[in-house]
C-alpha cells in the first residue's frame, strides 16, 4: 500500500482545520461556542492547530445557564488564560432578570430552552456573524442532516428543509446583515473518534469526565448530580455513587453513568464497548421524538 | 481495536424505501454493532406500534419529522460506522428524480457508490440515473448490489442477467471500477456475513468489499496544487518574520526545497518549510492541512495557488463545465453569479448552454435551454479574472466550482470542469 495516505483521525483533523481556516477567511466576527464540554474543548484545540504559531483568532463564547459544575468554570477560565483568548459570556440569569425569558416551573424545570434566547441575544449584541460549534452528526437524527456551514436567518432560526446544498469542500458563507452562520468543524467525528483523538493528543479535560465519587439522584434513567439548583422532593433519594459524565451541560440535566474509568485510556475503552448513545443521558432530548429538531429550528446549538 | 492505520471511506447510497436502501443501511449499522441500545429500544417500540414483524431496520435511518411522516428521505443524511478495519461515512441520499441535486451533493465527496437494484425488476430508469450521477461526479468505485435475492430464489441466472444488463449501460459511461454482489438486505445475505443461500457466488460480502477496497490512489498525487486559504502572520515574539501560507493540499506531493510557482502572479520561489503545529514535515500530500513558508518574500493572499514550476494548471477566464442546477428559481440567461473555485471567488456569467442531458436516458437535448432545478447541462462560463483550473476527471478539487446567486446568497449550481 502506498505510504501517501492519512489515517482516519488525521483526515478528520485535517478536514476540521480546513473548515476553521475557511471560517477565519469568510467571516468578520466569528466565535467558538464554548460549553466546557469535550467537543468544544476539541474544537478549540483544533483552532490552535489551524493557526499555529498565531494565537487562535476566535473569541470563546460561553452561554452560562448559571447552573454550572464549578469544575467547568475553573477549566474554562484556565484555558482562556492559557490561550490568551477573549471570553464572551451570555448569561441566562441576566436574560431572566431582564424579563427576556421566564424560568420553567415544576420539578423537572431546566434552563435548557432558555439558553436559546440568551445565545441569540448575545450573537446580536456582539455582532457575531459566525458561531463555531462542536456538534456532530452522529449525536442525534436532526443533526445528521446538518451542514458544515449552516445558515441562520435574522431570527436565528434553522430551516432544515431549505438548507444550502454543500458540495465537495466548498462552503458558501454568504449572508445578509443580521443573519449568521453556525459552523461545525467536527461534523464527521463520532463520539469514539473524539475520545481516540483526545487520548492520542493528550488533551486535558475537566475532571468530571473521569470516574469520581459524587452525590446523585436517580431521575429519568440516569444519575443527576445533587446541587443547589436541583429541586428535590420526598421521593428523591440522594445516594453516593462512583460516576463519570459523558457530556457536560447544565448541572440540573446532565446525567452521569456509573463507572470506574478514571483515566482517558479507560474512558476510551469504555466508550468502545458502550451500548447507549451519549445523549441517552440528557433529559432535554427525551421530551419528544423530535425534541432536538424543534430546538434546533428555534436556534439551539 | 487496532485503528491507528485505518483509513476513512466515504460512500454514497441513493434510493427510495422500496429498493431496500434504508434496510441495507440499517443492516450494515446493526450487524457491525454500530447501533446503540437506546436507539434499538426506540425502534422496537415504533416497529411494534406500526405492526411490523420483528425490528424494522429501515427505521434506523429516519430523519426529520417530515421525513418520518412521509416515510421518505428528502435530504442528504450522514451516517457513521466503524469496523476494526475502517471508518465509514455514508452519505444517504434520496433516489427520486426530484432530488437529483441531493444525490449530486452526496456523491461529491464519495470514494464509492452503492447502486441498488431490485432483483425482481433488474435495471430500471432509477438505476441509470444513479449510475449517471456516479459517473458524472467521478466516483472511483461502484458497487452494484442486487438486492432482494431472497425473492427470486437466490437465482444465479437472474443475477447474471442483471449483471449483463448493467454492463450494457455502464459501458456507455466513465466508470472505472464496478463490482457486483447478490444480497438480501432484509435477511442479511452477503451484507456483513457470507450468504449460505448462494454458494455459486464466489466474491466477498458487501462489508468486506468496502473494507478492502483500494482507495489510497483515489487522490491525485501527480499534479501539485496548493490553494492558499489564508496567511498566518503571528507578529509575536519568536515569530516576528514568520509568514506561513495556510491551506490543504489539493493534489500532488510537496517537499521543502521544491521549486514552485505562485499563480496567478507567476512569481517563482522555493519551499522553505512545510509546517504543522507539531513541527515541520518532509512531505505533504492530500488531504493534509499545512502551512507552507517560502524562501522569498512574495505577495501572496487567499485565492492564490502554489504549484510546482513544471506542472501548471490552466489559467483561464473561459471554462466549460457540466453544470447541475440546484435551485428552485431557474438560471437567468447572461445573469451574473458569484463563482467559488478552491479558495478563489469571482464574478461569472453563464454565456451559453450547449445541451441538457436527460439523466434517465443519457440523451442530449440542444433545443431546450432553460435550466431548472435538478437539470444537468453542458455550459460555457466566463469569469471576471482567470481561474487556475484542472479538468474534474483529473482533479476533484481544482476541477469543481459552485455558483452563488447574489440576490439570495443561495448556492444555485455545481459544476465539473471539462476544459477551457
- The string of DSSP letters for B147-208 reads E-GGGGTT-HHHHHHHHHHHHHHHTTS---EEEEEE-BTTTTBTTTB--SS-TT--S--HHH
Residues A262-283: what's their mean pLDDT? 75
Does A51 sit within 8 Å of B289, measured CB to CB?
no
Q: How far apart are CA B14 and CA B21, in angstroms?
A: 7
Q: Could you tell me the maximum CA-CA distance found in chain A, to the nearest angstrom?
A: 65
Q: How far apart are CA A186 and CA A198, in angstroms?
A: 13
Angle at A62 between CA A56 and CA A64, to 5 degrees: 165
Q: In the prediction, which pLDDT does A80 show?
A: 96
Portion of chain B with pLDDT greater than 70, in percent: 91
Nearest Cα to Cα of residue B275 among B256, B259, B295, B301: B256
Domain shared by B27 and B132, yes or no:
yes
Q: How far apart are CA A97 and CA B414, in angstroms?
A: 49
* Residue B66 DSSP class: H
Q: How far apart are CA A249 and CA A64, in angstroms?
A: 10
Q: In this structure, are residues A296 and A158 in contact, taking their beta carbons and an 8 Å threshold?
A: yes
Domain shared by B23 and B167, yes or no:
yes
Dump pLDDT digits (tens) for B189-229: 999 999 999 999 999 999 999 999 988 888 899 999 999 99
Domain shared by B32 and B128, yes or no:
yes
- Strand arrangement of the beta sheet that strand A149-152 belongs to: A87-91, A59-64, A30-33, A130-132, A180-183, A149-152
Predicted confidence (pLDDT) at residue A87 exceeds the cutoff of 90:
yes
Domain shared by B37 and B155, yes or no:
yes
Q: In this structure, are residues B332 and B370 in contact, taking their beta carbons and an 8 Å threshold?
A: no
Higher-confidence residue of A114 and A148: namely A148
CATH of domain A8-194+290-298: 3.40.50.620
Domain CATH number, residue B94: 3.40.50.300
First to last CA, chain A: 41
Q: In the prediction, which pLDDT does A106 show?
A: 77
Q: In the prediction, which pLDDT does B155 show?
A: 97
Q: How far apart are CA B230 and CA B304, in angstroms?
A: 10
Predicted confidence (pLDDT) at residue B412 exceeds the cutoff of 60:
yes
pTM of the model: 0.92
Predicted confidence (pLDDT) at residue A288 exceeds the cutoff of 60:
no
Predicted confidence (pLDDT) at residue A285 exceeds the cutoff of 80:
no
Does B216 sit within 8 Å of A21, measured CB to CB?
no
Q: In the prediction, which pLDDT does A144 show?
A: 82
Domain shared by B153 and B91, yes or no:
yes
- And the C-alpha cell for A48? 490552535
Predicted confidence (pLDDT) at residue B1 exceeds the cutoff of 80:
no
CB pairs under 8 A between A and B: 185
The answer to the question of residue B1 being in a domain is no
Q: How far apart are CA B402 and CA B383, in angstroms?
A: 13
Nearest Cα to Cα of residue B106 among B370, B270, B324, B266: B324
- And the C-alpha cell for B397? 478539487
Domain shared by B70 and B200, yes or no:
yes
Minimum mean pLDDT among A67-71, A194-198, B315-319: which range? A67-71
Query: Least CA distance to A13: which residue of chain B?
Result: B289
Q: How far apart are CA A217 and CA A286, in angstroms?
A: 18
Q: How far apart are CA B321 and CA B417, in angstroms?
A: 4
Predicted confidence (pLDDT) at residue B2 exceeds the cutoff of 50:
no
Does A21 sit within 8 Å of B236, measured CB to CB?
no
Angle at B418 between CA B413 and CA B420, to 5 degrees: 105
Neighbours of B236 (CB within 10 A): 12
Q: How far apart are CA A287 and CA A296, in angstroms?
A: 14
Domain shared by B173 and B258, yes or no:
no
* Residue A165 DSSP class: P
Q: Mutation test of the interface with chain B: which of A12, A16, A21, choosing the one with the most B Cβ atoms within 10 A? A: A21
ipTM greater than cut 0.85: yes
Q: How many domains does chain B have?
A: 3
Q: How far apart are CA B146 and CA B158, in angstroms?
A: 10
Domain CATH number, residue B278: 2.40.30.10
| Single residue among B308, B338, B359 that ends a domain in this structure | B308
Q: In the prediction, which pLDDT does B63 show?
A: 58
The answer to the question of residue B2 being in a domain is no
Cross-chain CB nearest to A165 (options B1, B87, B105): B105
Mean pLDDT, chain A, whole residue set:
88
Does B36 sit within 8 Å of A168, measured CB to CB?
no
* Residue A221 DSSP class: T
Residue B180 CA: distances (Å) to CA of A65, B117, B165 = 55, 10, 12
Phi/psi at A122 (nearest 5 deg)?
-70, -40
Does A167 sit within 8 Å of B108, measured CB to CB?
yes
Chain B residues inside the 8 Å CB shell of A190? 80, 82, 87
Give the minimum alpha-carbon distance from B234 to chain A in angstroms, rounded to a whole number. 4
Give the minimum alpha-carbon distance from B278 to chain A in angstroms, rounded to a whole number. 8
Predicted confidence (pLDDT) at residue B48 exceeds the cutoff of 80:
no
Q: How far is CA A91 from the centre of its chain?
A: 16
Q: How far apart are CA A100 and CA A190, in angstroms?
A: 36
Domain shared by B31 and B159, yes or no:
yes
Q: In the prediction, which pLDDT does B324 show?
A: 93
Chain A residues inside the 8 Å CB shell of B410? 164, 172
What proportions of chain B, in percent to the nearest 5, are helix, strand and coil? 20, 35, 45
- And the C-alpha cell for A5? 495516505
Q: How far apart are CA B269 and CA A112, in angstroms?
A: 55
Domain ranges of chain A: 8-194+290-298, 206-285
Q: In the prediction, which pLDDT does B22 show?
A: 81
Q: In the prediction, which pLDDT does A231 show?
A: 81
Q: How far apart are CA A132 and CA A129, in angstroms?
A: 10
Give the minimum alpha-carbon distance from A97 to chain B in angstroms, rounded to a whole number. 35
Nearest Cα to Cα of residue A179 among A150, A206, A200: A150
Q: In the prediction, which pLDDT does B122 show?
A: 93
Q: In the prediction, which pLDDT does B69 show?
A: 59
Give the minimum alpha-carbon distance from B119 to chain A in angstroms, rounded to a whole number. 30
- Residue B294 has, within 13 A of its CA and on its CB side, a CA count of 21
Under the banding of pLDDT at 50, 70 and 90, the label for residue B18 is: low
Q: In the prediction, which pLDDT does A112 show?
A: 80
Q: How far is CA B11 from the centre of its chain?
A: 8
Domain shared by B143 and B125, yes or no:
yes
Give the minimum alpha-carbon distance from A27 to chain B in angstroms, rounded to a whole number. 12
- Structural domain boundaries enclosing B202: 7-218
Predicted confidence (pLDDT) at residue A24 exceeds the cutoff of 60:
yes
Query: Least CA distance to A197: which residue of chain B?
Result: B4
Query: Least CA distance to A176: which residue of chain B?
Result: B409
Dump pLDDT digits (tens) for A237-250: 889 999 998 888 78
Minimum mean pLDDT among A48-57, B17-26, B298-307: which range? B17-26
Domain shared by B402 and B276, yes or no:
no
| Single residue among B308, B335, B350 that ends a domain in this structure | B308
- Contacts of residue B112, defined as CB under 8 A and 6 or more positions apart, other chains included, come to B9, B10, B11, B12, B139, B140, B141, B142, B143, B210, B213, B215
Give residue for cell 440568551.
A118
Cross-chain CB nearest to B1 (options A13, A272, A277): A272
How many distinct helices (H) and strands (E) make up chain A? 8, 10
* Residue A235 DSSP class: T
Domain shared by B272 and B380, yes or no:
no
- And the C-alpha cell for B10? 466515504
Nearest Cα to Cα of residue A59 among A87, A90, A22: A87
Give the minimum alpha-carbon distance from B161 to chain A in angstroms, rounded to a whole number. 35
- And the C-alpha cell for A272? 468502545
Chain B residues inside the 8 Å CB shell of A276? 36-38
Neighbours of B45 (CB within 10 A): 11
Q: In the prediction, which pLDDT does B93 show?
A: 86
| Ordered DSSP codes for B358-415 | -TTT--EESS-----TT-EEEEEEEEEEEEEE--TTT-TTTTEEEEE-TTT--EEEEE
Dump pLDDT digits (tens) for A137-182: 988 777 888 899 999 998 888 887 778 999 999 999 999 999 999 9
Domain shared by B368 and B251, yes or no:
no
* Residue A3 DSSP class: S
Predicted confidence (pLDDT) at residue B383 exceeds the cutoff of 60:
yes
Predicted confidence (pLDDT) at residue A271 exceeds the cutoff of 90:
no
* Residue A35 DSSP class: -
Nearest Cα to Cα of residue B183 among B165, B169, B162: B162
Q: How far is CA A143 from the centre of its chain?
A: 13
Mean pLDDT, chain B, whole residue set:
89
Residues A277-290: what's their mean pLDDT? 57
| Single residue among B308, B330, B351 that ends a domain in this structure | B308
Q: In the prediction, which pLDDT does A219 show?
A: 83
Query: Least CA distance to A221: which residue of chain B?
Result: B38
Q: In this structure, are residues B261 and B246 in contact, taking their beta carbons and an 8 Å threshold?
A: no
Q: In the prediction, which pLDDT does B16 show?
A: 63
- Contacts of residue B143, defined as CB under 8 A and 6 or more positions apart, other chains included, come to B11, B112, B113, B114, B115, B178, B179, B180, B181, B206, B209, B210
- And the C-alpha cell for A223? 444519575
Q: In this structure, are residues A117 and A99 in contact, taking their beta carbons and an 8 Å threshold?
A: no
- And the C-alpha cell for B253? 506531493
Q: In this structure, are residues B223 and B193 in contact, taking their beta carbons and an 8 Å threshold?
A: no
Q: How far apart are CA B168 and CA B154, in angstroms?
A: 23
Amino acid at each position: 500500500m502506498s505510504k501517501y495516505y492519512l489515517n482516519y483521525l488525521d483526515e478528520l483533523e485535517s478536514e476540521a482545520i480546513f473548515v476553521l481556516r475557511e471560517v477565519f477567511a469568510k467571516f468578520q466576527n466569528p466565535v467558538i461556542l464554548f460549553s466546557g464540554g469535550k467537543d468544544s474543548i476539541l474544537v478549540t484545540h483544533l483552532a490552535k492547530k489551524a493557526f499555529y504559531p498565531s494565537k487562535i483568532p476566535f473569541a470563546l463564547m460561553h452561554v452560562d445557564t448559571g447552573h454550572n459544575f464549578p469544575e467547568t468554570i475553573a477549566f474554562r477560565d484556565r484555558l482562556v488564560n492559557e490561550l490568551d483568548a477573549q471570553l464572551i459570556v451570555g448569561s441566562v440569569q441576566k436574560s431572566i432578570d431582564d424579563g427576556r425569558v421566564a424560568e420553567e416551573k415544576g420539578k423537572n424545570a431546566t434552563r435548557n430552552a432558555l439558553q436559546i434566547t440568551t445565545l441569540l441575544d448575545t450573537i446580536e449584541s456582539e455582532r457575531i456573524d459566525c458561531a463555531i460549534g462542536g456538534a456532530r452528526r452522529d449525536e442525534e437524527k436532526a443533526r445528521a442532516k446538518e451542514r458544515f456551514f449552516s445558515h441562520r436567518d435574522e431570527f436565528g432560526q434553522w430551516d432544515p428543509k431549505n438548507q444550502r446544498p454543500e458540495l465537495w469542500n466548498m462552503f458558501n458563507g454568504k449572508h445578509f446583515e443580521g443573519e449568521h452562520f453556525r459552523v461545525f468543524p467536527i461534523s464527521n467525528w463520532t463520539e469514539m473518534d473524539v475520545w481516540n483523538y483526545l487520548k492520542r493528543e493528550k488533551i486535558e479535560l475537566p475532571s468530571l469526565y473521569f470516574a469520581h465519587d459524587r452525590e446523585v439522584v436517580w431521575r429519568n434513567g440516569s444519575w443527576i448530580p445533587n446541587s443547589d439548583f436541583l429541586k428535590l422532593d420526598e421521593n428523591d433519594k440522594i445516594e453516593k455513587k462512583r460516576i463519570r459524565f459523558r457530556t457536560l451541560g447544565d448541572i440540573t440535566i446532565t446525567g452521569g453513568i456509573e463507572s470506574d474509568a478514571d483515566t482517558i485510556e479507560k474512558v476510551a475503552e469504555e466508550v468502545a464497548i458502550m451500548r447507549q448513545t451519549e445523549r441517552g443521558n440528557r433529559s432535554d432530548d427525551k421530551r419528544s421524538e423530535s425534541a432536538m429538531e424543534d430546538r434546533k429550528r428555534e436556534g439551539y446549538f | 481495536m487496532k485503528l491507528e492505520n485505518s483509513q476513512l471511506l466515504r460512500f454514497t447510497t441513493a434510493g427510495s424505501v422500496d429498493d431496500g436502501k434504508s434496510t441495507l443501511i440499517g443492516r450494515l449499522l446493526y450487524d457491525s454493532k454500530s447501533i446503540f441500545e437506546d436507539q434499538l429500544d426506540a425502534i422496537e417500540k415504533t416497529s411494534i406500534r406500526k405492526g411490523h414483524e420483528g425490528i424494522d431496520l429501515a427505521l434506523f435511518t429516519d430523519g426529520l419529522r417530515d421525513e418520518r411522516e412521509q416515510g421518505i428521505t428528502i435530504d442528504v443524511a450522514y451516517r457513521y460506522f466503524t469496523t476494526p478495519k475502517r471508518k465509514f461515512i455514508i452519505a444517504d441520499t434520496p433516489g427520486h428524480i426530484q432530488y437529483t441535486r441531493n444525490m449530486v451533493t452526496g456523491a461529491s465527496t464519495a470514494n464509492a457508490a452503492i447502486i441498488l437494484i431490485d432483483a425482481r425488476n433488474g435495471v430500471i430508469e432509477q438505476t441509470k440515473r444513479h449510475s449517471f450521477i456516479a459517473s458524472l461526479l467521478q466516483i472511483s468505485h461502484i458497487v452494484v448490489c442486487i438486492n432482494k435475492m431472497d425473492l427470486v430464489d437466490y437465482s444465479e441466472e437472474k443475477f447474471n442477467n442483471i449483471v449483463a444488463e448493467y454492463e450494457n449501460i455502464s459501458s456507455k459511461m466513465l466508470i472505472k471500477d464496478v463490482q457486483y454482489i447478490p444480497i438480501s438486505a432484509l435477511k442479511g445475505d452477503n451484507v456483513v456475513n457470507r450468504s449460505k443461500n448462494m454458494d455459486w457466488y464466489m466474491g466477498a460480502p458487501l462489508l468486506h468489499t468496502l473494507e478492502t477496497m483500494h482507495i489510497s490512489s483515489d487522490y491525485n498525487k501527480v499534479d501539485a496544487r496548493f490553494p492558499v486559504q489564508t496567511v498566518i502572520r503571528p507578529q509575536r515574539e519568536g515569530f516576528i518574520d514568520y509568514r506561513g501560507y495556510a491551506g490543504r493540499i489539493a493534489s500532488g506531493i510537496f517537499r521543502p526545497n521544491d521549486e514552485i510557482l505562485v499563480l496567478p502572479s507567476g512569481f517563482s520561489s522555493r519551499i522553505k518549510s512545510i509546517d504543522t503545529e507539531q513541527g515541520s514535515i518532509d512531505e505533504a500530500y492530500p488531504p493534509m492541512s499545512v502551512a507552507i513558508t517560502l524562501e522569498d518574500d512574495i505577495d501572496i493572499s487567499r485565492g492564490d495557488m502554489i504549484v510546482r514550476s513544471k506542472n501548471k494548471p490552466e489559467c483561464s477566464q473561459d471554462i466549460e463545465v457540466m453544470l447541475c442546477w440546484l435551485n428552485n428559481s431557474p438560471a437567468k440567461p447572461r445573469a451574473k453569479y458569484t463563482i467559488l473555485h478552491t479558495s478563489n471567488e469571482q464574478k461569472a456569467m453563464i454565456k451559453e448552454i450547449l445541451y441538457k442531458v436527460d439523466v434517465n436516458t443519457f440523451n442530449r437535448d440542444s433545443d431546450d435551454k432553460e435550466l431548472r432545478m435538478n437539470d444537468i447541462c453542458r455550459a460555457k462560463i466566463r469569469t471576471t479574472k482567470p481561474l487556475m483550473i484542472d479538468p474534474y476527471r483529473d482533479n476533484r478539487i481544482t476541477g469543481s466550482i459552485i455558483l452563488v446567486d447574489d440576490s439570495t446568497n443561495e448556492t444555485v449550481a455545481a459544476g465539473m470542469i471539462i476544459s477551457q
